[in-house]
């Protein structure tokens, strides 16, 4: 895979992350302004959007490891363990239109988010993961840096946040 191709995908996922982050902030603001009735905005589409976010994150993760040959570090693997099953759980929940899917998906998303937050923290304070970098799989170093601050764990963290927000909207709409 050429450097140019990888740069395009870096930009693509970075832009998607910004849009997803803006969208989730917009939803939260809308909820704060409108009150409980705001959850009717998306209706059943919230779960499909959450599934789409998980699917794009999973495809992106596999692209970086299997097509671009970025070796996932230990903390990356924990986030993958959270994101991959979300794709299946959310798809089944969306097809079956079951509000109960939140009880399965939300804890997984929050655990993934916790790991993402810690991973981002490690990148700001590298000494948390030792004093040197493994040249192949350093958790403390950024694999990519988009717009001067965004790395893969940041993207994953935004993905988990968006899924959690959408699940909250979906749950309320289904009640």
CB of 127 to other proteins, least distance (A): 7
How far apart are the C-alpha atoms of 6 and 12, rounded to whole Å? 10
Check binding of 67 to other proteins (CB under 8 A): no
Residues 6+ positions from 156 with CB-CB distance below 8 Å? 57, 61, 79, 83, 112, 116, 119
Q: Which is nearer to other proteins, 63 or 141 (CB)?
A: 141
Q: Which is nearer to other proteins, 74 or 81 (CB)?
A: 74
Check binding of 127 to other proteins (CB under 8 A): yes
Q: Which is nearer to other proteins, 17 or 79 (CB)?
A: 17
Check binding of 17 to other proteins (CB under 8 A): no
Q: Measuring CA to CA, how many Å separate 35 from each of 30, 55, 167? A: 8, 30, 17
Check binding of 58 to other proteins (CB under 8 A): no
Residue pair 156/112 in contact (Cβ under 8 Å)? The answer is yes
Which of 4, 37, 66, 175 lies at the binding interface for other proteins (CB under 8 A)?
4
């Amino acid at each position: 895979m050429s450097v140019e191709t990888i740069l395009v995908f870096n930009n693509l996922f970075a832009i998607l992350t910004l849009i997803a982050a803006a969208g989730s902030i917009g939803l939260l603001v809308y909820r704060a302004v409108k009150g409980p009735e705001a959850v009717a905005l998306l209706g059943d589409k919230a779960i499909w959007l959450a599934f789409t976010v998980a699917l794009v994150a999973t495809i992106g993760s596999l692209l970086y490891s299997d097509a671009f040959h970025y070796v996932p570090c230990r903390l990356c693997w924990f986030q993958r363990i959270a994101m991959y099953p979300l794709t299946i759980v959310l798809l089944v929940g969306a097809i079956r239109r079951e509000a109960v899917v939140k009880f399965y998906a939300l804890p997984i998303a929050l655990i993934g988010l916790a790991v993402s937050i810690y991973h981002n923290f490690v990148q700001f304070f590298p000494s948390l993961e030792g004093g040197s970098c493994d040249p192949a799989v350093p958790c403390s170093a950024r694999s990519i840096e988009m717009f001067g601050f965004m790395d893969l764990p940041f993207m994953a963290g935004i993905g988990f946040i968006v899924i959690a927000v959408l699940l909250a909207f979906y749950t309320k709409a289904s009640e």
